Copies of this chain bind each other. A is one copy, B any other.
């Protein structure tokens, strides 16, 4: 599956596309950061972000989009812009019917490094290793977007396996209802 990870932000919005499945090596497809100037109005900055995300969805056709879950308790000076950018990211995907998942920063850190409180450098180092890159993706927003995509593939994989197991166990039990009534 191909996942677009989005680390939302008004000044820098990271986008990372990863191909892969659980239990197999993951591959980097592309990574980028949409930057918007603080000299522009917030609406114009949000339109720039929307166009950037739209262009990437068009180009890379992801099967799913993973967005960082934003919390109100985050840094107050940037949280409103981050929330607005995350809303734009969700709408871009939802308009096209692409499944969206939100992952918290701790979930992402735990997934890629095994430590929910890992620092930026650790996350960047693990992303570099997992995707077998020559250098750490810069800036941190780029690495974070890739970490989101990796997290989504790994977590989604676990969920898909559970769903499959549930489906198999349902099939194993005889169906109850009109079709099973002996006449």
Contacts and interface: CB of A to CB of B under 8 A. Distances in A.
Interface of A: 41-44, 46-47, 50, 70-73, 76-77, 79-80, 83-88, 90-91, 93-95, 100, 102
B80 A47 contact: no
Contacts of A86: 84
A83 B95 CA distance: 19
Contact of A83 (B73, B84, B90): B84
Main secondary structure of the interface of A (DSSP, over half): helix
Contact of A43 (B84, B85, B91): B91
B90 A84 contact: yes
Nearest to A86: B84
A100 B80 CA distance: 17
Contacts of A72: 72, 76-77, 79-80
Contacts of A70: 80
Contacts of A85: 87
Contact of A91 (B71, B80, B83, B88): B88
Nearest to A95: B47
A76 to B, nearest CB: 4
A103 to B, nearest CB: 14
Contacts of A73: 76
28 contacts: A41-B94, A41-B100, A42-B90, A42-B102, A43-B93, A43-B100, A44-B94, A46-B87, A46-B90, A46-B94, A47-B91, A47-B94, A50-B95, A70-B80, A71-B80, A72-B76, A72-B80, A73-B76, A79-B83, A83-B83, A84-B84, A84-B86, A84-B90, A85-B87, A87-B87, A87-B88, A88-B88, A88-B91
